[in-house]
């Protein structure tokens, strides 16, 4: 499996450039002025200004309008003062771009019209190329111009999570069809995941080549697997997706939910930063990962609803735990919930900056 890049592997960055930012430096396990902060699902979700600009526009359509993507991506940066922007899109956008018949149903999530269950179904999955997603390239370039020294994080869904949506036909709690295919027809499973690794890797590469300063591979559902199944059926495909940007001088973040037992394996797939969900302390994560990886996380999103005294105490604990890591990016242990008071996120950002300033 690929190994993480050394802290000195990248070219020197000019002061004031996104590549010199605390976020990129933390990802590369280099000294920072303060712990950088961003929040998964910060682009939208809880912001009234997001709901206003999205009103009447379906999710997938909104992801294909560069000016709208730019505005939504910038909104939390303006409001919260976070240290990075996360590109506003969805993990199924590249699947839609290659012609998969799917939609994002409000209150449900991605729904696939014709699930993939047989070898002939793979014919519907063609390679993704940059000319199929010109709106992504344009949006990234607009954002890089607007953000200046603030880094933009590109992202893609990992092969396992995309495969689960395609096989199940939509979100699933138990991944019954997915696991049945994985074990019942491992050759078909590998062929499916190999195609998805190309699609995910190409989607990351488009964003990085257009100017994103870091990328994150989301594997939302991979925590449903054992270590043995992850190694046997998933790790190499995630590694292939991450390898698509290995030579582009962008740190790679790998995040999954419920992945405490998989952290080291996810790092070994080719990431410089391993995202840690809220179920595992950063102290334990650092012990499992060792010195070769920075960590990201990991405030429980539910604690954003707690009284400030309790929330402040936990934020301070996480910042302190993060000092044990070679690099730490403060984040939630999953995404922002839609009902969160945006002012709380602003206060958390300021608190992290205050208590971590060097």
Query: Is 133 strand, coil or helix?
Result: coil
- Which helix (H) or strand (E) segment holds residue 227: the answer is helix 227-233
State residue 218 phi and psi, 5-degree precision: -90, 125
Assigned token pair, 285: 């994560």
What distance in Å separates the CA atoms of residue 192 and residue 159, rounded to the nearest whole number? 9
Given a contact cutoff of 8 angstroms between Cβ atoms, the answer to whether 296 and 321 are in contact is no
Q: 277 burial class (0-12, 13-18, 19+ CB within 10 angstroms)?
A: buried
Catalytically annotated residues: 41, 45, 54, 90, 165
What is the widest separation between alpha-carbon atoms in the chain?
Answer: 57
Number of other residues whose CB lies within 10 A of the CB of residue 47: 23
Beta pairing, strands 109-112 & 102-105:
antiparallel
Closest by Cα among 343, 318, 344, 350 to 331: 318
Neighbouring-strand partners of residue 157? 218
Number of other residues whose CB lies within 10 A of the CB of residue 111: 17
Neighbouring-strand partners of residue 209? none
């Amino acid at each position: 499996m690929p190994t993480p890049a050394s802290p000195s592997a990248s070219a020197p960055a000019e002061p004031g450039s996104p590549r010199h930012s605390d976020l990129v430096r933390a990802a590369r396990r280099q000294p920072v002025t303060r712990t950088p902060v961003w929040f998964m699902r910060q682009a939208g979700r809880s912001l009234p200004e997001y709901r206003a600009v999205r009103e009447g526009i379906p999710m997938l359509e909104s992801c294909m309008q560069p000016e709208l993507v730019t505005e939504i991506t910038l909104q939390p940066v303006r409001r919260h003062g976070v240290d990075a922007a996360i590109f506003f899109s969805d993990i199924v956008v590249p699947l839609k771009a290659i012609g998969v018949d799917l939609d994002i149903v409000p209150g449900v999530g991605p729904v696939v019209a014709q699930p993939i269950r047989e070898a002939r179904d793979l014919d519907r999955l063609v390679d993704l190329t940059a000319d199929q997603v010109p709106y992504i390239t344009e949006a990234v370039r607009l954002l890089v111009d607007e953000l200046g020294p603030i880094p933009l994080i590109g992202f893609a869904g990992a092969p396992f999570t995309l495969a689960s949506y395609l096989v199940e036909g939509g979100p699933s709690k138990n991944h019954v069809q997915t696991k049945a295919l994985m074990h019942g027809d491992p050759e078909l499973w590998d062929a499916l995941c190999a195609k998805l690794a190309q699609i995910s890797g190409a989607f990351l590469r488009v964003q990085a080549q257009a100017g994103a300063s870091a990328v994150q591979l989301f594997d939302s559902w991979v925590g449903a697997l054992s270590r043995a199944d992850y190694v046997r059926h998933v790790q190499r495909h995630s590694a292939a997706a991450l390898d698509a940007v290995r030579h582009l001088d962008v740190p790679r973040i790998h995040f999954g939910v419920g992945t405490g037992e998989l952290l080291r394996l996810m790092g070994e797939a080719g990431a410089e930063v391993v995202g840690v969900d809220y179920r595992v302390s950063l102290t334990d994560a650092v012990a499992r990962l060792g010195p070769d990886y920075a960590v990201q996380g990991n405030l429980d999103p539910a604690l954003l609803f707690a009284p400030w005294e309790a929330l402040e105490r936990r934020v301070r604990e996480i910042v302190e735990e993060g000092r044990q890591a070679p690099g730490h990016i403060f984040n939630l242990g999953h995404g922002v919930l839609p009902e969160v008071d945006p002012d709380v996120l602003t206060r958390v950002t300021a608190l992290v900056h205050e208590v971590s300033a060097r």
